[in-house]
Structure 1
Amino acid sequence: MSIYLDYNASAPIEPRVLECMIDIYQNYIGNADSRTHDYGDQARNIVENARKQVASLLGITSSEVFFTSGATESNNIAIQGLEAYAKESGRNHIITSSIEHKAVLETVKAMQHRGFEVDIVDPESSGRVDAKKILEKVKDNTLLVSLMHVNNETGIIQPVQELGTALEERNVFFHVDATQSCGKLVDELRSLKYTMLSFSAHKLRGPQGIGVLVLRKKNYKYPPAKAIMYGGQQEHGIRPGTIPVALVGGCGKACQIAELEYQSNEKKLRSIKKKLLELLDKSGITYSCNGDQNYCLDNTLNLCLHGVSSEALMISTKRYCSLSNGSACTSKSYSPSYVLMAMNIPVENIENSIRISWGPETDLEQFQIEFTNLLNVAKRLAQ
Structure 2
Amino acid sequence: MTDVTSDRRRGARRWAIDLRPLRVPAYRRVWTGNAIAMFGFQFTAVAVPVEMFDLTGGSLWVGLLGIAGFVPLLIFGLWGGAVADARDRRRVLLVGGCVLWASTLGLLVQSLAGARSPLLLLLLVGLQSTAFAITSPARSAILPRLVPAELVPAATTLNFTTFTAAAVFGPLAAGLIFAAWQVGVALPIAYAADALLFTASLWATLRLPAMPPAPDPDGGVRKAGFASIIDGFRYLATTRVLLLSFAIDLIAMILAMPRALFPELAQERFGGASAVGWLYSSIAIGAMLGGLTSGWIGRVRRQGLALTVAVVGWGVAIALAGLAGQLWVAVVLLGVAGAADLVSATLRQSMLLVYAPDRMRGRLQGVNTVVVAGGPRLGDLRAGAMAAGFGTGFAMVGGGLAAAVLAVLLVVAFPALLRYRSTTPAEERR
Which structure's relative contact order is higher, taking Cα pairs within 8 Å and 6+ residues apart?
Answer: 2
Between Structure 1 and Structure 2, the one with more helix by share is: 2
Between Structure 1 and Structure 2, the one with more strand by share is: 1
Q: Same fold (TM over 0.5)?
A: no
Given the two structures, how large is their TM-score scaled by the length of structure 1? 0.24
Given the two structures, how large is their TM-score scaled by the length of structure 2? 0.22
